[in-house]
Amino acid sequence: MNKKTKNLELLNSDLNKTKNWFIDHLQKLESTVHIYTHLDADGLSAGAILGKAFYREKIPFQITVLRQLEREEIIKIAENSKDSKKFLIFADFGSGQYLELTEKLNGFDDNVPFIILDHHLPQNISDKNDDKIKEIYSNSRPWHINPYFYEFDGSSEISGAGMCYFFVKSLNQKNFDLSPIALVGATGDVQSRGPNNSFNGLNTVILEHATKADLVEVNNDLNFSSIKPLNEAISYSSEISLPGLSDNTSKMLKFLKSLGILMETSQGDIKTLNDLNQEEKQKVSSAIIEYMSLKLNIEPSEIIEKLIVSKYILKNEIVGSQLHDLNDFAYLLNSCGRSDNASLGIAIAMGDRSIAYNKAKDQLLNYKKSLGQALSWLKDENKIQYKNNIQYFFGENVIFENIVGTIASMLIFSKSGIIDINKPIFGCAKRKDEEVFKISGRAHKDIVEKGVNLSEAIREALELSNLEALGGGHPPAAGTKVPINKIDVFLENCDSVIEKQLREN
């Protein structure tokens, strides 16, 4: 038995203990389960997985979606829970706030029972592979489940939704049909970034469950959106750059028509990738390879590696819908959470294909528009600022806290050259009615591999800045909040900490 298999068995064993502890407390308390989760695609998927599983078991539950699990929220949750019969579950956050949760929820005559199902770096752990993780958190089980305890990487091998999936599968094996939603969560957290867009680690176990159950199909296809007009999908691709054509949808449409492909549907709409047959896809593929080889002097094999990737298709969803492809599904959920419509995302992930789905599609256009305007503003107005080791921007009155993390992520993966991908970027957006900035940090995988860990960097910078805010996340993506009058010193400290991380690795 190899080490990963052994660690998976240990995880399943602990999940079984957690399940038994959960059921035992529910029976004693006759309580409602209150689920707290994050507003991004992974958090909404996590909440939906728990909600669907509890609905099947006739377990009363309610779901609250939070922008972050901050100290003020923890105090509020504790106050609301102390005199009521509630069982709390924290999904897709909690590990970075473990000490505060135990302090506040265990500070009553009757401790408030809770479970953490998270995949972020545990609080105060600097080395994810350090054996002291198990020692520090050994007494937190069975109510705290985190992949780092089992030597799985929570930033790339399993999402918050994935952790919730394994929990509900221990509750009832029939919940295997929720595996596609766990993969939606992983996709939302950009975890299908292996070779050929593959999943890694525990996500491959979930994918195996989904494919064996004939719920998800894996196809090799062109690396563009399947549902956008094809000229737009190629023009705005973050992976494929065609000099003279990218960012120009009119020229791209002429290019596609020059291949002898009829680019209009019978309804007069521009065709999507889904509308093309295999012969037409082959024409597009060959033309792009030839174009990039000549214009950029890139080897065809290198182009093919980025051009042809695995696509994950949800077989029970309608072809061409926003839910048929994992990427599009995750994008829709993220738009719900980031547009103050988290309840729509939860409902869709739990199975609603009518009212919630139609409302979510209606607001999607405005969401896309706000992202496009934000990126154009950053580029056109030269809003990116630099220090020695980091870069940053202030959202001003254009980029608000609900999308600042999304914008930072888009910049990291963009081929537009707006930022230097060799430095982490920190987006700073002022919170409405508060004198604080929401901070979202992102780092390209190449510098993470060189030693950059944004979760630890943000925590250390907070400490150096004498700030008590909670912060953390993953090595490539983390966040916190910082008072406006402390932002300069915080960014200076981030710069110093990143310099130290790169120097010491």
User: How many Å apart are CA 258 and CA 144, to the nearest integer?
Assistant: 58
- Is the Cβ–Cβ distance between 455 and 478 less than 8 Å? yes
- Ordered by start, the domain boundaries in the chain are 3-215, 221-314, 381-504
- Is the Cβ–Cβ distance between 454 and 392 less than 8 Å? no
User: How many Å apart are CA 169 and CA 178, to the nearest integer?
Assistant: 9
Give every CB contact of residue 304 below 8 A, 6+ residues apart in sequence.
Answer: 289
Q: Which residue has the tokens 């700073």?
A: 428
User: How many Å apart are CA 290 and CA 238, to the nearest integer?
Assistant: 19
Determine the residue type at 86. K
Please tell me the CATH code under which domain 381-504 is placed: 3.10.310.40
- Is the Cβ–Cβ distance between 179 and 152 less than 8 Å? no
The alpha carbon torsion through 491, 492, 498, 500 (nearest 10 deg) reads -160
Residue 105 in tokens: 């929820």
Within a 10 A sphere around the Cβ of 488, how many other Cβ atoms? 11
Residue 319 in tokens: 């072809």
Q: Max Cα separation, the chain?
A: 76
The alpha carbon torsion through 318, 159, 179, 52 (nearest 10 deg) reads -90
Phi-psi sector, 351: left (phi>0), alpha (psi -120 to 50), beta: left
Three-class SS state of 107: coil
User: How many Å apart are CA 500 and CA 373, to the nearest integer?
Assistant: 35
User: How many Å apart are CA 485 and CA 141, to the nearest integer?
Assistant: 40
User: How many Å apart are CA 169 and CA 381, to the nearest integer?
Assistant: 50
Determine the residue type at 101. L
User: How many Å apart are CA 225 and CA 22, to the nearest integer?
Assistant: 41
Determine the residue type at 240. I
pLDDT value, residue 364: 94
Q: Can you give 56-98 as a three-state secondary structure string? A: HCCCCEEEEEECCCCHHHHHHHHHHHCCCCEEEEEECCCHHHH
- Rg (Cα) of the chain, in Å, rounded? 23
Q: Any idea what DSSP says for residue 276?
A: -
Strands 436-442 and 477-483: antiparallel
Of 245, 249, 250, 273, give the one whose Cα is nearest residue 261.
Answer: 273
pLDDT value, residue 482: 97
pLDDT value, residue 128: 42
Please tell me the CATH code under which domain 3-215 is placed: 3.90.1640.30
Vertex 389 angle, CA 452 and 487, to 5°: 100
Alpha helices (runs of H) in 297-425, residue ranges in sequence order: 300-307, 326-338, 342-349, 355-380, 401-413
381-504 matches 3-215 in CATH topology: no
pLDDT value, residue 127: 43
User: How many Å apart are CA 412 and CA 345, to the nearest integer?
Assistant: 25
Determine the residue type at 429. A
Q: What is the pLDDT along the chain (505 residues), one digit of tens a residue?
A: 788 889 999 999 999 999 999 999 888 877 899 999 999 999 999 999 999 999 999 999 999 999 999 999 999 999 888 777 789 999 999 998 988 888 888 765 567 889 999 999 887 644 444 455 555 566 665 689 999 989 999 999 999 999 999 999 999 999 999 999 999 999 999 999 888 899 999 999 999 999 999 999 999 999 999 999 999 999 988 788 888 888 789 999 999 999 999 999 999 999 999 999 999 999 999 999 999 999 888 899 999 999 999 999 999 999 999 999 999 999 999 999 999 999 999 999 999 999 999 999 999 989 999 999 999 999 889 999 999 999 999 999 999 999 999 999 999 987 667 899 999 999 999 998 889 999 999 999 999 999 999 999 999 999 999 998 888 899 999 999 999 999 999 999 999 999 999 999 8
